[in-house]
Amino acid sequence: MTPTQLRKPRRVAVLSVHTSPLEQPGTGDAGGMNVYITETATRMAQRGIAVEVFTRATSSGLPPVAELAPGVLVRHVSAGPFEGLDRAELPAELCGFTAGVLRAEARHEPGYYDLVHSHYWLSGQVGWLTRKRWGVPLVHTAHTLAKVKNAALAAGDTPEPRERVIGEQQIVDEADRLIANTDVEAAQLVSLYDADPEKVDIIAPGVDLERFRPGGRHAARRRLGIAPDAVVFAFVGRIQPLKAPDVLLRAVAALLARGEIARERLVVLVAGGPSGTGLEQPAALQDLAVALDITDVVRFLPPQSGEALADVYRAADTVAVPSHNESFGLVALEAQACGTPVVAAAVGGLPVAVADGFSGLLVAGHATDDWADTLGRLAMSPVLRAQLAAGAVQHAHRFSWDRTTDALIAGYIDADHALRYSLARAEVAV
């Protein structure tokens, strides 16, 4: 069968149980996954594929259906109480959520959805049940994996539960296609979950190169009230142990103790809100700043979006991504697209998102002295920063959401073809 004979889906059901693409990334459970769904769904619609995103309703005031973009609908499914539940409480609501998805499909003629794409393991549990009911392919993106997270826990963080490990295994066994962000994640799916390598597609996330682009650093600093000659480090993301913003604060305190940076010139921007286990102690990072005696140099900002987020990236000399685990690291890519070098932990997909020595610097581990050394090296070397800034823009341009979307659609077509071929063989056998 030639590519022209393969069938592009007309309508895709996207499952995002625990977080809505309408939510602001950077707080609660909203993060890179929200950006991923929004960007790819919007571009699929532009390519003639209608997308309906199913997510759990967290308020009685939400409309049953909302338009995210032309051709993209968000369906709020009632499942459990109308309030924000912790992710640990959501498995108990999956039956109700699944029933709501099936009811929505039942209002239409059979074959209304051509494919299901589930995001995160909670959605995957719903995905493989709807796949069986509708007889359509299931494509799944894990975003994070329990076994990987548990092997790289931050101090004091809570391990992922056994029910998640079992649930992820069920999804890997049932899905027609698994989307991995990097070859590292693909290898983890195969080695840790015994995934069929032939069913794993490696598709890197992208970056909005129109929104995130080099711009006026002085103008960005002026809007943020930062002196033109300041040394600026930034952290952007959810405030939780997994993302390790404490690593940046400890490194900054070490730099000040060494006297390598004048205190009056240093600014540390932390943009984001509590999330995950960070919700248990929402002020923990502020308390750490007090304990380290650096409250005068640290500025806590709420989650940023649009041009305000780009301003944070552009205003910084360096953006730190010290996570204990990242399947990819969209923040690193966005910062580099703005021309800002990134210092990142050499974990997960970050060595793909950051080209070590070309667009930023990778740090092995999370030791305070190692991070202080690397941040100090960049802060003290304008030449190195300029070289990495140029490389950052070049590296970011290797990625785009258009490229990601086109690769996903190709994966959808392959998954549909494989399922139809399998069904045809089964009919012949009978």
Express each pLDDT in 241-273 by its tens digit: 989 999 999 999 999 999 989 999 999 999 998
> Averaged over 90-113, what is the pLDDT?
94
Q: Is pLDDT of 282 > 80?
A: no
CATH of the domain at 68: 3.40.50.2000
* Span 82-94, pLDDT tens digits: 876 777 889 999 9
| Residue 414 counted as an annotated binding residue | no
**Residue 4 confidence (pLDDT):** 41
**Residue 149 annotated as lining a ligand binding site:** no
Q: Is 316 annotated as a binding residue?
A: yes
Indicate if the pLDDT at residue 105 is higher than 50. Answer: yes
Q: How far apart are CA 244 and CA 271, in angstroms?
A: 13
Residue 102, class by beta-carbon neighbours within 10 Å (0-12 exposed, 13-18 middle, 19+ buried)? middle
What is the maximal distance between C-alpha atoms in the chain? 78
- The answer to whether residue 1 is domain-embedded is no
Same domain flag for 191 and 275: no
29 labelled binding-site residue: yes
pLDDT given at position 430:
54
pLDDT of residue 5: 55
Report the DSSP pairing between strands 138-141 and 115-119.
parallel
| 34 is known to lie in a ligand binding site | yes
Same domain, 293 and 412: no
Listed ranges 4-8, 28-32, 308-312; the one with the highest mean pLDDT: 308-312
Are 232 and 364 in a shared domain?
Answer: yes
Task: Give me the pLDDT at residue 429, please.
Answer: 62
pLDDT at 305: 87
> Is 334 marked as a binding-site residue?
yes
Query: Is 32 annotated for ligand binding?
Result: yes
Q: Say if residue 338 is in the same domain as residue 283.
A: yes
End-to-end CA distance of the chain: 23
109 marked ligand binding residue: no
Which of the pair, 391 or 282, is modelled with greater confidence? 391
Does the pLDDT value for residue 1 go beyond 50? no
- Would the annotation count 24 as a binding residue? yes
CA angle 387, 389, 390 (to 5 degrees): 70
For the stretch 129-150, pLDDT in tens is: 999 999 999 999 999 999 998 9
Domain interval for residue 375: 217-397
Q: What pLDDT does residue 420 have?
A: 81
Same domain for 50 and 178?
Answer: yes
> Do the annotations mark residue 87 as ligand-binding?
yes
Q: Binding residue per annotation — 25?
A: yes
43 annotated as a binding-site residue: no
| 346/243 same-domain check | yes
Q: Judge whether 75 is annotated as a binding position.
A: no
The answer to whether residues 161 and 256 belong to one domain is no
Enumerate the H helices of 210-299 as residue ranges: 217-224, 245-258, 284-291
**Is residue 4 domain-resident?**
no
For residues 201-207, average pLDDT: 96
Residues 226, 141 share a domain:
no
CA dist 167 and 126 (Å) reads: 10
User: Residue 211 falls within a domain, yes or no?
Assistant: no
Residue 212 falls within a domain, yes or no? no
How large a percentage of the chain has pLDDT more than 70?
A: 94
Q: Do residues 173 and 26 both lie within one domain?
A: yes
Residue 186, pLDDT score: 97
Q: Is 18 annotated as a binding residue?
A: yes
Same domain, 259 and 314: yes
- How many angstroms separate the CA atoms of 278 and 108, rounded? 42
Strands 177-180 and 65-69: unpaired
158 and 114 in a common domain: yes
Q: How many domains are there within the chain?
A: 2
Residue 2 forms part of a structural domain: no
Q: Is 38 annotated as a binding residue?
A: no
To the question of whether residue 238 is assigned a binding role by annotation, the answer is yes
322-334 burial, b at 16+ Cβ within 10 Å, e below that, comes to bbbbbbbbbbbbb
Q: Is residue 97 part of a domain?
A: yes
Both 359 and 288 in a single domain? yes
- Report whether 177 belongs to an annotated binding site: no
Is 31 known as a binding-site position?
Answer: yes
- Could you tell me if residue 383 is inside a domain? yes
State the average pLDDT over residues 3-16: 82
Q: Is 360 inside a domain boundary?
A: yes
Which residues are CB-neighbours of 273 under 8 A, at least 6 positions away? Answer: 26, 27, 28, 238, 239, 302, 303
Q: What integer pLDDT is reported at residue 386 of this predicted model? A: 96
